[in-house]
Amino acid sequence: MKPEVTDAAEVVARTMIGRPHDWRLRRPAPPQMPALGPHWIGPVMALSSTLVGWFAFNDTVGRSGTAFALFIGSVSIMLMAWSNLLSTRISALEQLFGGVDRMYRWHRWFGALSVVAMWLHTQTVDDVKGIAGASRDVAKTAQDLASTGTNILYALVGLSLLRWLPTRWWRISHKFLILPFVFASWHFYTATKPYANDSAWGRWFGAFMLLGIAAWLYRVVWRDMIRKGRLHRVVGVERTGDSVALELEPVGAPMRHALGQFAFVKIDRPGMREPHPFTIASAPDDRSLRFVIRDLGDWSHDLDHRVAIGDRVIVEGPYGRLEPFPSRTHGPIVWIAGGVGITPFLGAARSGAPAGSAPPHLFFCVRSRDDAPGLDELIDAHEAGRVVVHVHASDEGTRLGADDLGTAFGANGLRDAHIVMCGPTTLVRDMTAAVTSLGARHVHVEGFDIRTGIGPDLSRHIDRLLAAWQPRFSHPPSTEVGARSGDDQRAGDKATSRP
């Protein structure tokens, strides 16, 4: 075995142990929706459509199990159906749930609760008979499939929780969750119930079973395999500190987007075809799309070396409902950004506030001015009067705190403010407490976290092991990377990776 393979394998083995905080289980963050609004319509619909099923079983008696056993089985299926539906990223659902980031939080919560419901069902049900007109063998076969599906579900959930598995492999395993859903649905259809499958309740549950399957086909087959997104080509790559600015020109009509939205990016290079969400930094009237991608993992670590001018890129989107400018407000507009969290505000700073609104105040928190993405562009916007920029650099000892906000707006000056934050979790948490103490009643935050789990992330180390075993990237870094020419050259092309 080659020495480099042995060394890479040893690194993977050592890293698997991780550190204590790697094994701390973090529950899925509850969707941040403190105010009443249309974003509650979706969750209320999902929970109501699930819980109303109790009335289909509340009079159940006999060997087929208690009402609770049958009801909790239906809960598992309904929640899995909703979880599949939310993974589609359909724009109508985005409006009902308040954005794709909240849709994915509900997606994880519904998925986790469906596992709990399935376990409760297996612990409480005592017997299953066939539906009227179906043979006992049909019901028995369906029950066996459901049992197999339960084991598959537990195994796939375990893989999801353990972050040893690289994300691109986890995505593949995640697609197989359709099997437990189909097996459980067939078992539910053939099992004894207090209603017929052609009754109103039968059609109700049957519709959601079919809807869950259709949602999986739409997401996995149609969007991931057939209609993948809009084709773009790389026209600029530039590293600034620990982030890489990526500029893409559309092949055909440009993608229409609003300020603060994001898109999923897939680069047509070996090992880089996995979709990743990034905020769009370009203004809505720009033809090109711009992103700044921070070095956060295996995909982004060597981005500037792997990507060359002219590479094909698939962009799916836009998504998101983060609004740097409010539709109407009687107070100041306040933006708080940390590091590459500046991206949602770059296009907005270039566009300027709507007529009649005062320039927004931007509090930009960075480790160093030298590593601050888009700072030159922000300074230009500041000098032009489109935004008031406050830079807080850690290496200068000017960390942002409640006192700074109080000095700028007064003790109760944020009561009617439109406040938007994007950055590290700790910054968002601390600044939310700070603005709340100054009278703020709501903070707009969009945090994108597709995968949670325990254990150390081995993605980068496994990539190195595979590269040592059989090099995946045989092409040398392009001499064009970072170069711009003619009309393609633009200043401050920045974007951000979602938190």
What are 185-233's pLDDT values in tens digits?
999 998 878 888 899 999 999 999 999 999 999 999 999 888 889 999 9
Of 428, 445, 462, which residue is a domain's last? Answer: 445
Does the pLDDT at position 32 exceed 70? Answer: no
Cα 43 → chain centroid? 17
**What is the CATH classification number for the domain harbouring 373?**
3.40.50.80
Specify the 3-state DSSP secondary structure of 321.
Answer: coil
290 shares a domain with 170 = no
Mean pLDDT value across the chain: 81
314 shares a domain with 169 = no
Of 164, 193, 226, which residue is a domain's last? Answer: 226
In a domain, 156, yes or no: yes
307 shares a domain with 191 = no
Per-residue pLDDT band at 483 (split at 50, 70, 90) = very low
| pLDDT for the residue 8 | 67
Does the pLDDT at position 130 exceed 70? Answer: no
Higher pLDDT, 11 or 265: 265
Per-residue pLDDT band at 133 (split at 50, 70, 90) = very low
234 shares a domain with 161 = no
In a domain, 219, yes or no: yes
| pLDDT for the residue 473 | 44
Summarize pLDDT for 338-368 with one digit per residue, the tens.
888 888 888 888 888 777 778 999 999 988 8
In a domain, 298, yes or no: yes
DSSP string, 199-232: SHHHHHHHHHHHHHHHHHIIIIIIIIIIS--EEE
296 shares a domain with 180 = no
In a domain, 55, yes or no: yes
Question: Average of pLDDT values for 253-279?
Answer: 87
Q: Which two tokens stand for residue 214?
A: 């259709």
Of 226, 259, 290, which residue is a domain's last? Answer: 226
- The residue whose two tokens read 């300020």 is 259
| pLDDT for the residue 206 | 95
**What is the CATH classification number for the domain harbouring 289?**
2.40.30.10
- String of b and e for 160-172 (b: at least 16 CB within 10 Å)? beebbbbbbebee
Q: Which of 104-108, 280-284, 494-498 has the lowest mean pLDDT?
A: 494-498
Per-residue pLDDT band at 475 (split at 50, 70, 90) = very low
**Domains: count for the chain:** 3
In a domain, 19, yes or no: no
425 shares a domain with 359 = yes
235 shares a domain with 221 = no
Range of the domain at 81: 38-226
In a domain, 197, yes or no: yes
Question: Average of pLDDT values for 126-131?
Answer: 52
In a domain, 382, yes or no: yes
Question: 401: Cβ–Cβ under 8 A, 6 or more apart, which residues?
Answer: 434
Does the pLDDT at position 61 exceed 60? Answer: no
152 shares a domain with 297 = no
Does the pLDDT at position 63 exceed 70? Answer: no
> In angstroms, rounded to a whole number, what is the distance separating the alpha carbons of residues 418 and 345?
14
Q: How many residues does the chain have?
A: 499
151 shares a domain with 111 = yes
Alpha helices in 217-315 (DSSP H): 298-301, 303-306
256 shares a domain with 192 = no
Rounded to 10°, the helix 425-437/402-409 angle is 40
273 shares a domain with 207 = no
178 shares a domain with 203 = yes
In a domain, 259, yes or no: yes
Alpha helices in 302-391 (DSSP H): 303-306, 343-351, 375-383
Q: Which of 110-119, 143-152, 379-388, 476-485 has the lowest mean pLDDT?
A: 476-485
**Angle, CA 69 vertex, CA 146 and CA 117 arms, to 5°:** 65
Strands 276-279 and 230-240, how do they pair? unpaired
Question: Average of pLDDT values for 146-169?
Answer: 84
The reported pTM is 0.79
Instruction: Say which amino acid occupies 238.
Output: E
Question: Average of pLDDT values for 96-116?
Answer: 88
DSSP string, 64-123: T--HHHHHHHHHHHHHHHHHHHHTT--HHHHHHHTSHHHHHHHHHHHHHHHHHHHHHHHH
